[in-house]
Structure 1
Amino acid sequence: MYDFSKRISSFHNQHVRLSNDQRADMKRRRETNLDRIEKGLEELEKPAFKETINQGGYAQKTMTQPPESDQESRYDIDLGIVFNQDDANGPRTTRDWVRQAIARKATNMKNDPVTKKKCVRVVYADGYQCDFPVFRRRWTDVGWRYELSSGDEWVASDPAAMNQWIEREVSWKSPETSGSYQLRRIIRFGKFFSKTHAARLKRSFPGGLVATALFIECYTADDGRDDRSFRETLRSLSQRSKYTPVFANGVQVSDDKDTDRIGRLIDQAKDSVKELDKLDADDITDSDANKIWKTVFRHSFFDDASKNAANSSSAPLETKSALGGAGLAAPFLASKAAAALSDSEKQSRMESAVNARKESGSGGKPWAE
C-alpha cells in the first residue's frame, strides 16, 4: 500500500483529534455546569450528589472534531451525577432535580436543559452539548454498586468499568508500549469517518460507545502505519454482519435501533476499502493518494498538494517495535535518516512528539489528565 502515513498523521493531528484548547474549553463548560448543579440542588433544598463519573468520549479521549461538512455537529460531554441510594427519589424525579438545578443557575444557553430518558441535556448555541446521566449508589460487601436512572427504572450500570476496559484495550492491542496509542487514533478516525458519512448522507450512523466498540472489535494493528491500519480495520468491519450485536466489556451496547445504522457504516466501509485498495498499485502518486483518501474522509485537507512535499512512497523513518521483529537495524536507519532532516523538519517532528506526549499523559499513562 502506498505509504501515506505522514500525511494521515497530519490530518489526524489537525482535523480529527481535539486540540488542547478545545479540551480545555469543554472541561471549563463541564465544571461550570457541575457548579450549577451543586448550588442549584442546595437552593432547591434537595440532597447533594456524592460523586461524579467521567464517561464517554471525553473521558476516553476518543472525541473528534466535527466533519468539515457539518461544523454544527455537537461535541458531547458526559458526566455522571451520583446520589446515595437513601437520598435519591424515583428515577424520573431524581433526574428532574438535576434539570431544575441547572435551569435555576444557568444562563446563555441555546435551550433550557431537558430531561431525556437516561440523562439531563444542556445544549449550547455553538454546538457543545453536556449530558448528565443520573445514578444512585449503594455500599455492598464488594464496594459501591451503581444504578442508572433510565426512564422509570434504576438499571445496574458501571461506567467506570467501561472506561477501564477501553483503557486496557487501547494499551494492550496497540503496537506501541507507551506514548500515543494507535488504537485510540483508529477509534478517532473511525468515529470521524462515521460522522462524516452520516452528515453526507443525512442518515444516522453508529456513534458514541457503539462506534467505539465496533472499531475496537475490528481493529487491525500495523506498527508505524496508521493509514494501513485504518484500511484493514475498515476491511474487517466490512466483513461483519449488521445483525451481530456489539459488545463492550462483555456487555451488549447495541440494540434494534442500531442495526440499520451499523449496516450503513458497513456499506460505507466496503466502498472505502475498494477505493483504498487502489493504493496497492505500483504507479500511485501523491496526487492519486490525496484523491483516494478524500473519498474516505471528504475533507479539503486532501486538496492541498503543497503539504505533500514531505511525504513520499517510501518511509525512511518507519521502525518496528520489538514485537514487530525489525531487528537492530531499524533504530540505526531511523537515526541515519533523522540526521539528514532539515532543521524545520526536525522541529516539526519534535513538536509532533511533544503533542503525542501531551495527548496520552505523562509516564506512559494514557488516561492521565
Structure 2
Amino acid sequence: MYDFSKRISKFHQDQVRLTNGQRADMRRRRETNLERIEKGLEETNKPSLAETINQGGYAQKTMTQPPENDEESRYDIDLGVVFEEDDAAGPRTTRNWVRDAIARKATNLKNEPETKKKCVRVVYADGYQCDFPVFRRKWSEVGWKYELSSGDEWVSSDPAAMNKWIETTVSAKSPETSGSYQLRRIIRLGKFFSKTHSSRLNRKFPGGLVATALFIEAYTSVDGRDDEAFRETLRALSNRSRYSPVYANGIQVSDDKDTDRIGRLIDQAEESVKELDKLDADDATDTDANKVWKSVFRHSFFEEETKEAANSASAPLEKKSALGAAGLAAPFLASQAAAALSDSDKHSRMEAAVSARKESGSGGKPWSK
C-alpha cells in the first residue's frame, strides 16, 4: 500500500484529535454543570451526591472533532452522578432531581435540560452536549456496586471498570509499549469516519461506546503505518455480521436499534476499502493517495495537500522563468551601462566597492558569507 502514514498522522493530529483548548473547554463546562447540580440539589432539599464518575469518550480519550461543515455535530461530555442507595428514589424520579437542579441554575442553554432514558442531557447553543447518567451505589463485601437509572429500572453498571478495560486493551493491542497508542488513534479515526458518513448520508451510524467497541474488535495492528492499520481495520469490519451483538468488557453494549446503524458502517467500510486498495498499485502517487483518502474522510485537508504539492512542483519552473527574463536581462543591461562609463568612473566605482566589502567584513569572497 502506498505509504501515506505521515499525512494520515498529521490529519489525525490536526483534524481528528481534540485540541488542548477543546479539552479544557469541555472540562470547564463539565465542572460548571456539576456545580449547578450540587447547588440545585441543595436548594431543593434533595440528597447530595456521593461521587462522580468520568465516563465516555472524554474519559477514554477517544473523542473527536466534528466532521467538516457539520453544524449539527456535538461534543459529548459524559459525567456519571452517583447517589447513595438509601438516598436515591425511583430511577425516573432521581433523574428528575438532577434535571431540576440543572434547570434551576443554568443559563445560555439551547433547550431546557431533558430527562432521557439513561441520563439527563444539557445541550448548548454552540454544539456542546453534556450527559449526566444517574447512578446509585451500595457497599458489598467485594466493594462498591453501582446501578444505572435506566427507564424505570436500576440496572447493574460499572463505568469505571469500562474505562479501565478500554485503557488496558489499547495498551495491550497496540504495537507501542508506551506513549501514544495506535489502537486509540484508530478508534478516533474510526469514530470520525462514522460521524462523517452519518452526516453525509443524514442517517444514524454507531456512536459512543458501540463505535469504540466495534473498532477495538476489528483492529488490525500495523506497526508504524496508521494508514495501513486503518485500512485493514475497515476490512475486518466490512467482513463482520451486522446482526452480531457488540461487546465491551464482556458486556453487550448494542441493542436492536443498533443493527441498521452497524449495517451502514459495515457497508461504508467495504466501499472505502475498495478505494484504499487502489493504493496497492506500484505506480501510485501522492496525488492518487490524496484523492483516495479524501473519498474516505470527505475532508478538504487532502485538497490542501494537493495544492501544496502542485505549488512545490511548479516553484523550480517559476525560478527558471524568472532567470530567463529578468535574471538574464539584468547582467546584460549592467554590462551595457558599465561599457558607457569612462575609465576614471570605472576606477572610482571599483574602489568604492572594495571599501564597502572591507567595512562589511566579508572580503571579496561571496562564499564566505
Asked if these proteins are the same fold (TM beyond 0.5), I'd say yes
Alignment-derived partner of residue 201 in structure 2 = 201
Q: Match of 2:18? A: 18
Indicate the residue corresponding to 1:53 in structure 2. Answer: 53
CA contact (8 A) 1:72 1:126 kept: no
CA distance in 2, matches of 1:290, 1:54: 38
What is the rounded CA distance, in whole Å, between the counterparts of 1:306 and 1:299 in structure 2? Answer: 14
Spell out, residue by residue over 1:118-175, the C-alpha distance to the aligned partner (whole angstroms, 9 max, x if none).
0000000000000000000000000000000001110000011100100011000000
User: Displacement of 1:203 after TM fit?
Assistant: 0.5
Q: CA deviation at 1:178?
A: 0.6
- What's the secondary structure of 2:272's corresponding residue? helix
Q: Is residue 231 from structure 1 mapped to residue 243 from structure 2 by the alignment? A: no
Match of residue 301 from structure 1: 301
Residue 71 of structure 1 deviates from its aligned partner by: 3.3
Q: Distance in 1 between matches of 2:308 and 2:121?
A: 40
The residue matched to 2:53 in structure 1 has which SS?
strand
Instruction: Count how many residue pairs are aligned between Structure 1 and Structure 2.
Output: 310
- Following superposition, the deviation at residue 72 of structure 1 comes to 2.8
Q: 2:168 corresponds to which letter in structure 1?
A: R
Radius of gyration: which is bigger? 2
- Structure 2 counterpart of 1:212: 212
Aligned to 1:275: 275
Output one character per residue of 1:165-190: Cα deviation in whole Å (capped at 9) or x when no partner.
Answer: 00011000000001100000000000
Runs of 4+ in 1 over 6 A off after TM superposition: none
More deviation in 63-72 or 190-199? 63-72
Q: Distance in 2 between matches of 1:133 and 1:162?
A: 14
- Residues 141 and 307 of structure 1, relative CA distance in 2, 3 Å threshold: farther
Shift of 1:307: 4.6
State how far apart, in whole Å, the 2-side matches of 1:37 and 1:61 are. 25
Change (3 A) 1:307 1:20: farther
Paired AA for residue 134 in structure 1: V
Other-structure match for 1:353:
none
Query: Structure 1 residue 167 and structure 2 residue 186: aligned?
Result: no
Cα distance in 1, alignment partners of residues 82 and 308 from structure 2:
48
Q: Which residue of 2 aligns with 1:35?
A: 35
* Distance in 2 between residues matched to 1:235 and 1:196, nearest whole Å: 18
2:187, 2:10 → 1: CA distance? 16
Is 1:158 equivalent to 2:158 in the alignment?
yes
**What SS does the corresponding residue of 1:144 show, helix, strand or coil?**
strand
Q: Residue by residue, what CA displacement relative to the aligned partner does 1:284-337 show, whole Å, maximum 9, x if unpaired?
A: 11011000000000000000124559x9xxxxxxxxxxxxxxxxxxxxxxxxxx
**Cα distance in 2 between the residues matched to 1:43 and 1:69:** 42
Deviations 1:265-285 (A, max 9, x none): 000000000000000001111
Q: Residue type matched to 1:161 in 2?
A: A
Question: Which structure's residues are more often helix, by fraction?
Answer: 2
Matched, 1:112 2:112: yes
What is the identity, as a one-letter code, of the residue corresponding to 2:181? Y
Partner of 1:349: none
Q: What stretches of structure 1 of length at least 5 have no aligned partner?
A: 312-369
3-state SS of paired residue (1:45): coil
What is aligned with 1:98? 98
Matched, 1:122 2:110: no
- 5+ residue gaps in structure 2? 313-369
TM-score by length of 2: 0.83
Q: Distance in 2 between matches of 1:212 and 1:307?
A: 34
> Hey, what does 2:328 align to over in structure 1?
none
1:191 aligns to what SS in structure 2? helix
1:82 and 1:135 in contact (8 A); partners too = yes
Q: What displacement does 1:36 show?
A: 0.4
Q: Which residue of 2 aligns with 1:79?
A: 79
Q: Could you tell me which amino acid in structure 1 is paired with residue 246 of structure 2?
A: V
Mapped partners of 2:69, 2:42: distance in 1 = 43
Q: Which residue of 2 aligns with 1:358?
A: none
Q: Which amino acid aligns with 1:191?
A: K
Identity of aligned pairs, percent?
80
> SS at 1:204's partner residue?
coil
Matching residue's letter, 1:193: F
Q: Residue 70 of structure 2 aligns to a residue in which SS?
A: coil
Counterpart CA distance in 2 for 1:71 and 1:151 is 30
TM-score of the superposed pair, with normalisation by structure 1 = 0.83
- How many angstroms apart in 2 are the aligned matches of 1:307 and 1:134? 50
1:8 aligned partner, one-letter code: I
Q: Which amino acid aligns with 2:243?
A: Y
* Separation in 2, partners of 1:291, 1:95: 48
Is the contact made by 1:74 and 1:127 (CA closer than 8 Å) also made in structure 2?
A: yes
Instruction: Tell me the equivalent position of 1:258.
Output: 258
Residue 289 (structure 1) aligns with: 289
RMSD value, Cα: 1.1
CA distance in 2 between counterparts of 1:213 and 1:53 reads 20
Larger RCO of the pair (alpha carbons < 8 Å, separation 6+) = 1
Query: What letter matches 1:282 in structure 2?
Result: D
* CA-CA distance at 1:192 after TM superposition: 0.3
Q: CA deviation at 1:69?
A: 3.3
8 Å Cα contact 1:69/1:196 also seen in 2: no
Name the amino acid aligned to 2:182: Q
